Amino acid sequence: MNIFSKNKVNKAFYMGFKKNNFLEKFTNSQVFLPLIGFAGIIVLWWIIALFRSEMMPTPPEALAKNLDFILHPFYRRGPGDLGLGWLLLASLRRVCIGFLLGAIVAIPVGFLIGMNNTAWQILNPVIQVFKPVSPLVWLPIALAIFNSAEPSAIFVIFITSLWSTIINTAEGVKNVPAEYLEVAQVLEMPRWKQLVTVMLPASLPYIFTGLRISLGIAWLVIVAVEMLTGGIGIGFFVWDEWNRLNVSSVFLAVFVIGITGLILDYALAKLQTLVTHRPARG
Amino acid sequence: MTQQQFLTIENVVKSFKKPDGSDFVVLNGIHLSVGEKEYVSVIGHSGCGKSTLVRIVAGLEKPTSGMVTLEGKRITKPGADRMMVFQGYALLPWLTVRENIRLAVDEVFKKATVAEKISIVNKHIEMVKLTPAADKYPHELSGGMKQRVGVARALATRPKLLLLDEPFGALDALTRPKLQQQVIDIWENHRQAVMMITHDVDEAIFMSDKVVMMTNSPNATIGKVLDIPLPRPRHAHELRETTEYYHLRNEALDFLENYQ
């Protein structure tokens, strides 16, 4: 999250100008140190590319080959020939639908098992068994049910989004401080109102932790799902470009997927701060 | 005698089942009354069950036997006529100062108009001198400010009996006397029944009309009741100059030291 700590970065720059030792401040800043990390990776890539020059492009070669993708993200040159922006939007659409459906199911289920011990004993073993299963295993089952790639991909994301959100919501509900509920009891607040005005807002930080983990995994999984199902999407793009031996495009995809994932997490963290009025953790 | 019958605690016993099946008796036969305009403190060593006692009066816990009555009516469950100020403040962190107080006002004064509710909230924020911080969130406040919100929230619901469960216990030594003075100033202008739990002798004597001293748990009971006839309005620094204060203080400390 460092590169998004905008205030700190701005402050470092600002102080740099003010004290007129910009260079020194810059080398200590939160921009410079992450840059060293990325530079290291690129150097490593470059070295490997020099040894495996028949397949691997060097960073400048890859940049040159990807220039069209980078400069024209939203081109349409035929039914299957779309710019990266469109592919990204198609993948994001699947993730968003699956993730939202997952959240709609997972948050109430989390509340149920967090508040009711019988429900917990019924559902916890199911969750513990299903949670470690790679979500991709659900793909054949989904294809058997829906007989079509698009709903199957969304279904897999839906399953992916369930577990962390359920578990963290339940944890949040169990951890609502007793004092908050006692205040509500002393005020003679009806039970349903305690749920909405005290328990839900009190467990929101936990719910958001669950949502952020779920969305992170969903974004990992969609790429793999699209490699298997084909169609339009950033995952299939990776597989397709590899089949055409365009490793340069795969490198581009690595950065695009990574940055998109980071933005998704950042967006949820921002939403959390907005909704809970407290700074997001981690 | 109506004053004596405002809150009565009659022969209250509270015991818990231990894992080995035997009973652990926390409170054993508590008799206590609080008058309609009386400030009563309950003092004792940690773990003597004084918090359990205030929670029974609040209705958050049930006595094993005996009963508590407020104005002749038996207490069986929590109610806003016995609003509590919690040691850990118990402010809802997602609500501002104003919203925290408003939440309580909304629950208690269901029939009041919006304008009336706003005026009650503002009046109590002003009473604890928090008007400049009214729109801040609890995490932006110091401990002393948080507890002032706790006090304002409790007073805003106009309880018949105000329960204070070690209200100053979590505050630092410099903030504590300031807040004690503020609370007692408010109380002296709006006298009402208060039951305060504390483990601080000076606090108990300074604020109360009556200090109830408890023996240690298990089987804790009331060891001694000390009347505090010091004149009001009270000011901590003036009080510390008087000899009566020191007599009362020594009496309380002597008692508590016997139960070390």
Q: Structural domain boundaries of chain A?
A: 2-56, 84-276
> Tell me, what's the pLDDT at A225?
97
Confidence of residue B212 (pLDDT cuts 50, 70, 90): very high
- Contact of A68 with chain B, judged by CB distance below 8 Å, is answered with no
For chain A, positions 195-214, list CB contacts with chain B under 8 A. Answer: 197-198, 201-202, 204
Provide mean pLDDT across the span A116-125. 96
Confidence bin at A11 (pLDDT 50/70/90): low
> What is the pLDDT at residue A18?
52
Model confidence pLDDT, tens digit, residues B98-118 = 999 999 999 999 999 999 999
Is A187 in the B-facing interface, judged by CB distances under 8 Å? yes
Which structural domains are found in chain B, ordered by start? Answer: 7-83+159-258 (3.40.50.300)
Name the superfamily (CATH) of residues A84-276: MetI-like (1.10.3720.10)
Binary contact (B93, A277; C-beta < 8 A): yes
The predicted pLDDT at position B259 comes to: 79
User: Per mean pLDDT, which range of A23-27, A152-156, B123-127 is the poorest?
Assistant: A23-27
**Mean per-residue pLDDT for A43-57?**
92
- The percentage of residues in chain B with a pLDDT greater than 70, rounded to a whole number, is 98
3-state secondary structure chain A: CHHHCHHHHHHHHHHHHHHCCHHHHHHHCCCHHHHHHHHHHHHHHHHHHHHCCCCCCCHHHHHHHHHHHHHCCCCECCCCCECHHHHHHHHHHHHHHHHHHHHHHHHHHHHHHHHCHHHHHHHHHHHHHHCCCCHHHHHHHHHHHHCCHHHHHHHHHHHHHHHHHHHHHHHHHHCCCHHHHHHHHHCCCCHHHHHHHHHHHHHHHHHHHHHHHHHHHHHHHHHHHHHHHCCCCHHHHHHHHHHCCCHHHHHHHHHHHHHHHHHHHHHHHHHHHHHHCCCCCC
Beta-carbon contacts of residue A92 (< 8 Å; ≥ 6 apart):
A260
> B82, B165 in Cβ contact below 8 A?
no
Q: Give me the pLDDT at residue A2, please.
A: 46
Q: What is the mean pLDDT of residues B88-97?
A: 94
User: Which tens digits make up the pLDDT trace of A219-275?
Assistant: 999 999 999 999 899 999 999 999 999 999 999 999 999 999 999 999 999 999 888
Q: Which of A179, A201, A276 sits opposite B90 (nearest CB)?
A: A179
Chain A residues whose beta carbon lies within 8 Å of the beta carbon of residue B58:
182, 186
Whether chain B has a CB inside 8 Å of the CB on A278: the answer is yes
Is residue A190 less than 8 Å (CB to CB) from chain B?
no
pLDDT tens string B45-59:
888 889 999 999 999
User: Collapsing DSSP states into helix, strand and coil, what is residue B165?
Assistant: strand
Q: Determine the average pLDDT of the residues in B233-246.
A: 91
